[in-house]
Homo-oligomer: A and B are copies of this chain.
């Protein structure tokens, strides 16, 4: 177990880094500058308009302190609005702007292409098996990270 090539953690780290690089390259090709993290957050808000930051964090398994900066940058780019909630004055309500919707629509093909490139080493059968095992693995360690996925209320 001395060899890092055999260690799952090391391989996952490398795949994660490649995935980020691939994503950014494909999205840049579509004319946008957006990270995978920003994309996931934006997509989650589109599916759940008016969501607050804490719920969003649980939905996509982000740390609560990370979400602040991510939303900051998406707001700066004009893709999100952040307003105080009327029912809970602690919370900030998020909405996707028109520009945000346009961006999501226009980078959609790039995102799908990025997924394909990421799995280009596997054939169709292997890809499905890999995804199944990956999801199963992640599900079993969900509560062990500071930012576990939380089911929507």
**Residues on A facing B (Cβ under 8 Å):** 1-2, 4-23, 25, 36-37, 40, 43-44, 47, 60-61, 111-112, 114-115, 117-122, 126, 129-131, 133-142, 144-147, 149
Contact = CB atoms under 8 A, between A and B. Distances in A.
B122 A137 contact: yes
A14 B5 CA distance: 20
B134 A43 contact: no
Nearest to A47: B2
Given A40-B4, A112-B1, A117-B141, A9 B21 contact: no
Nearest to A108: B1
16 contacts: A4-B40, A5-B135, A7-B115, A8-B130, A9-B19, A15-B134, A15-B138, A15-B141, A16-B16, A21-B146, A119-B137, A121-B137, A121-B138, A126-B133, A130-B134, A130-B137
Nearest to A140: B121
Contact of A40 (B10, B40, B117): B10
Interface SS, A side = helix
Given A10-B60, A11-B138, A25-B144, 18 more contacts: A5-B135, A6-B131, A9-B19, A10-B36, A10-B40, A15-B137, A15-B141, A17-B147, A18-B138, A18-B145, A19-B141, A21-B145, A120-B140, A121-B136, A122-B136, A129-B129, A129-B133, A130-B133
